[in-house]
Amino acid sequence: MTEARVSEVRAFNRFYTKVIGVLQAGMLDSPYSLTEVRVLFELAQTEQMATGELRTLLDLDAGYLSRILTRFETDGLIARERSASDARRQVVRLTPAGSETFGGLDERSAGEIERLLSGLSEEDQRRLVAGMAAIRGALGAAGEREPYVIRPPRPGDLGWVVHRHGALYSGEYGWGIAFEQLVARIVGGLDFSRDTGWIAEVGGERAGCVFCVRQDETTAKLRMLLVEPSARGLGLGRRLVEECLRHAQAEGYKRIVLWTRDSLVSARRIYQAAGFELDSEEKGMENGIEVTEQMWSRDL
């Protein structure tokens, strides 16, 4: 850790708290502080919640939370009562007035974020969302799983597929320009009247891909499965393969094949779990590095 890094984090904190209005007397032009609005948010996500659970969730001092809840009760936003299952526990819920108040605050918050994003280009919006996801990933709870989206390719995605295959496999396995050229030829040969593919996104940023390509009338080929290192462990590779298999079956293919290399251990495990079996393998060279080429297949 360096003094410069500490200073940069503190500078970011000062900047961002100003952007979201934390220093204002009330959040979103309301009489409530950021912490109070967060309490309303958590209560709005469930029918009722024990005060102890709410305190633990938000890491709040018991006395501080009690004062917040007393204010909300005075304002008619919440109701407190003893738990029906355990009289020692107090539960709290939003009243209709509390739900209405939170709904208004939630709409204003979404509107402010939309206005903030509207001043940025599409690329800057993607960079911003990806940066925020990176911060949450680095500082979030261990084992917390990021939500992801799997969608069809859009303009710009195919160039990303070639770039990431070239950069990732060069960095991890030492494969060279010839491999990237191979991927470029595969991408260039895609015919989306018969072939299809999927892009996985995490936090609004591309994180993986796979393609289902027609080999012949009865055989499909799974191609270019890739998952970014930052997204590994989320189950993306498995989901992408499942999507490819589902599509191939729906299109009436009887068999699906794939080509891989034995050094791609994680990918091989996914293929095996999906029912693929090794058909053949042979030695080859990639950028002066010996590799073992493998063909796998399964019936559909």
pLDDT tens for each residue of 25-58: 566 778 888 888 888 888 888 888 888 888 888 8
Q: Find the mean pLDDT for residues 211-240.
A: 92
pLDDT attached to residue 136: 73
Identify whether the C-beta of residue 225 lies closer than 8 Å to the C-beta of residue 197: no
Task: Measure the CA–CA gap between 232 and 168, rounded to whole angstroms.
Answer: 13
User: How far is Cα of residue 147 from the mean position of the Cα atoms in its chain?
Assistant: 4
pLDDT attached to residue 26: 62
Identify whether the C-beta of residue 91 lies closer than 8 Å to the C-beta of residue 48: yes
Q: Find the mean pLDDT for residues 251-280.
A: 94
Residue 13 one-letter amino acid:
N
- Six-digit token pair at 201? 């996104």
Residue 194 CB partners (closer than 8 Å, separation 6+): 214
What CATH number should be reported for the domain whose range is 148-299?
Answer: 3.40.630.30
% of the chain residues with pLDDT over 90: 52
pLDDT attached to residue 284: 92
Span 3-119 CATH architecture: Orthogonal Bundle (1.10)
Place of tokens 């891909």: 209
Question: Residues 210-222: pLDDT tens digits?
Answer: 999 999 999 999 9
Q: Minimum mean pLDDT among 141-150, 175-184, 256-265, 267-276: which range?
A: 141-150
List 205's β-bridge partners, or say none.
Answer: 202
- Work out the pLDDT band at 146, boundaries 50, 70, 90: low
In the chain, ranges of CATH 3.40.630.30 domains: 148-299
Greater pLDDT, 44 or 203 = 44
* C-alpha triplet 163, 165, 168: angle, nearest 5°: 100
Greater pLDDT, 277 or 23 = 277
pLDDT attached to residue 83: 75
pLDDT attached to residue 145: 58
Residue 135 has pLDDT above 70, yes or no: yes
Residue 296 has pLDDT above 80, yes or no: yes
Residue 93 CB partners (closer than 8 Å, separation 6+): 43, 47, 48, 49, 78, 79
Task: Measure the CA–CA gap between 72 and 32, rounded to whole angstroms.
Answer: 10
Residue 143 has pLDDT above 60, yes or no: no
Question: Residues 80-113: pLDDT tens digits?
Answer: 888 777 777 888 999 999 899 988 888 888 888 8
pLDDT attached to residue 140: 67
Task: Measure the CA–CA gap between 238 and 216, rounded to whole angstroms.
Answer: 25
Give, to the nearest 10 degrees, the angle between helix 236-250 and helix 265-273. 50
In the chain, ranges of CATH 1.10.10.10 domains: 3-119
Residue 9 has pLDDT above 70, yes or no: yes
Strand bridging mode 255-261 / 289-299: antiparallel
Mean model confidence pLDDT for the chain? 88
- Work out the pLDDT band at 163, boundaries 50, 70, 90: very high
Residue 280 has pLDDT above 90, yes or no: yes
Q: For the beta carbon of residue 57, count every other beta carbon within 10 angstroms.
A: 12
Phi, then psi, of 145 in degrees rounded to 5: -100, 130
Q: Minimum mean pLDDT among 7-16, 187-196, 249-258: which range?
A: 7-16
